[in-house]
Amino acid sequence: MATVAHFLLKILLFAVVSSAVAAAEQKASGRATEAAALREFKRALVDVDGRLSSWDDAATPCGWAGIACSLAREVTGVTLHGLGLGGALSPAVCALPRLAVLNVSKNELSGPVPAGLAACRALEVLDLSTNSLHGAIPPELCALPSLRRLFLSENLLTGEIPADIGNLTALEELVIYTNNLTGGIPGSVRTLQRLRVVRAGLNGLSGPILVEVSECSSLEVLGLAQNRLAGTLPRELSRLKNLTTLILWQNALTGEIPPELGNCTNLEMLALNDNAFTGGVPRELGALPKLVKLYIYRNHLDGTIPKELGSLQSAVEIDLSENKLTGVIPSELGKIQTLRLLHLFENRLQGSIPRELGKLGVIRRIDLSINNLTGAIPMEFQDLPCLEYLQLFDNQIHGAIPPLLGARSTLSVLDFSDNRLTGSIPPHLCRHQKLIFLSLGSNRLIGNIPPGVKACKTLTQLRLGVNLLTGSLPVELSAMQNLSALEMNQNRFSGPIPPEVGKFRSIERLILSGNYFVGHVPAGIGNLTELVAFNISSNQLTGPIPRELARCTKLQRLDLSRNSFTGLIPKELGTLVNLEQLKLSDNSLNGTIPASFGGLSRLTELQMGGNRLSGSVPVELGKLNALQIALNLSYNMLSAPCCSSTSTAATSLGTMASAASKEKLVQ
């Protein structure tokens, strides 16, 4: 009996060992099959940097770069993000039976998306984004039963979103932005009850936003910006109670903004800008307690700004600009203590700026420009500690600029131009050396440029034209190494142009016209090699035109008219091949017109009337085919081209004179 039991035990042990050996052999065979599938997948890739060199090892794939395995040592993930891989995608990877994640994003892959990827039946995440894949989205992918995330963004895909996209019932995220997809949104999306995120912006999608989208009950993010979607916005979107982000900007949507959106109480971002919405701003939007960003600018909205928007206690940015809004700015907006940006520019708003806006403790940007606002700038603005951008230009604001503006805030951009402001320029605008843009032009400001502005080394543009300012051209401005534009025209500045002007090495626009500057133009003006526009007209400048101007090779507009310049016109000016406008009229220049001016092929306006020029008009001027605005040589002592061999040029010159505002060529 013991012998029989012993025999049976041997048989049992043999069976166990055989089973274990068979299982081990099966696993080894499985690993070999997976390794072979991965190597086949690799063969379609171009791995210049050898990032997949470990795939040549004989060891298990679980140790290879980018490979994830289960506890059972089966490959579950292939993640090759950002490895600089080229070549094409191979469906050979679908021989991995447990593959749940395939991520080859941010590479240089090309070719089509293989329809054979539909054989990856266990796939949950497919990320092919940021490559150069082209062709259509294979409809076969819509048969993947477990797919939760489909990322195809930033490729060159064309065609339509597959009509059977609704078959992906496990889908949670659909990210296909920045392609060339066309067609409409498939109605089958209504079956995607788990869908949380749709990002399909920057394509060529057209047609309406379907009501069926509102049946995606789990939807949190709907991004369809920069497409060609048209029609009205479905009111049924208010059913999406989980919606946090609605981004539809830059489409062709029309009709009214549905007031029912006020029922989407989880909404954090609403971007409807750059469409053709009409009607008013729904007051119901003020009932969105979590709304952080409200962008409805650049539409055709009219009516008033609802005071209910003052209840948006989570709002950080509100932009209603570039519409047709009327009425006053609601003082209730001053209650939004989280607000950092308020843009209401380019509307038809009236009344004064509410003092309550001065209570916005964290506000950084306020732009109320291009409206019909009146009254004074609230003194409370000078107490805003975080204010960086303040733009109020092109209104009818009057009174003085708050004297302590800039003392408590790090201003970067300040534009009060085209108003009716009086008084002096406040001294503290650049106290913290952050100011880069200061525009106070077209007001009624008086006094000198304050020392604090003269010493503002961060300034790139200083625009003070058309005021009643006095004093000299500050030599301190030469320390502004980043200054690209200085506009002091039509004021009461006087004195000479200092030689330090030659230190404005970054200057592109130097506009000093309409003042009382005297003396010679410094030769150092030739150091301004970035200069594009130079206007010193209507001053009391004397002496010769500096030939050093010819070193300013980027000059496009040069206006020295209405001064008392004497001497010859420097022939070197004829080398300024980028000149489009040249005005030397109403001076006391003598001598002849340089023949070199015939090389100014881009010139559209040439004004030299009212001088003492003599001799014949150079036939070379007949080459100036771009002259369209004006050719004025009148009130000189010139004679027409006299050589018969140049009759064609003379005829051309006469034709241009007729085309260019019909001003007299010779008088």
The Cα–Cα gap between 145 and 143 comes to 6
- Span 509-564, pLDDT tens digits: 999 999 999 999 999 999 999 999 999 999 999 999 999 999 999 999 999 999 99
**pLDDT given at position 164:** 97
Q: 653 pLDDT exceeds 70?
A: no
Enumerate the domain spans of the chain: 569-667
Indicate the pLDDT class of residue 278, thresholds 50, 70 and 90.
very high
User: Are residues 618 and 643 in contact, defined by beta-carbon separation less than 8 angstroms?
Assistant: no
Tokens 């404005």 found at = 504
Q: 412 pLDDT exceeds 90?
A: yes
Single-letter code of the amino acid located at 595: A
Single-letter code of the amino acid located at 232: T
Dihedral sign from CA coordinates of 263, 264, 268, 269: negative
Helix-, strand-, coil-residue percentages of the chain, each rounded to 5: 25, 25, 50
Look at residues 434, 425, 376, 433 and name the one whose alpha carbon lies nearest to residue 405: 425
**pLDDT given at position 2:** 55
- Kindly provide the b/e burial profile for residues 338-377, where b requires at least 16 CB atoms within 10 angstroms of the residue's own CB: ebbbbbbbbbebeeebbebbbbbeebbbbbbbbbebeeeb
The Cα–Cα gap between 286 and 527 comes to 57
CA angle, corner 555, sides to 554 and 556, nearest 5?
A: 115
What torsion, rounded to 10 degrees, do the Cα atoms 491, 493, 498, 503 define? -40
Q: Read out DSSP for 360-410?
A: -TT--EEE--SS--BSPPPGGGGG-TT--EEE--SS--EEEPPTTTTTSS-
**pLDDT given at position 56:** 86
Q: Read out DSSP for 523-548?
A: GGGGG-TT--EEE--SSEEEEPPPGG
- Span 206-260, pLDDT tens digits: 999 999 999 999 999 999 999 999 999 999 999 999 999 999 999 999 999 999 9
Q: 143 pLDDT exceeds 50?
A: yes
Q: Region 288-310: what's the mean pLDDT?
A: 99
Indicate the pLDDT class of residue 31, thresholds 50, 70 and 90.
low
Per DSSP, the three-state class of 214 is helix
Per DSSP, the three-state class of 34 is helix
**pLDDT given at position 15:** 43
Give the domain 569-667 fold: 3.80.10
**pLDDT given at position 3:** 59
Residue 435 corresponds to which tokens in the numbers above?
């100011």
Indicate the pLDDT class of residue 662, thresholds 50, 70 and 90.
very low
pTM: 0.90
Tokens 């072979």 found at = 36
The Cα–Cα gap between 608 and 235 comes to 66
* Separate counts of helices (H) and strands (E) for the chain: 3, 44
Indicate the pLDDT class of residue 593, thresholds 50, 70 and 90.
very high
User: Are residues 280 and 304 in contact, defined by beta-carbon separation less than 8 angstroms?
Assistant: yes
The Cα–Cα gap between 568 and 584 comes to 11
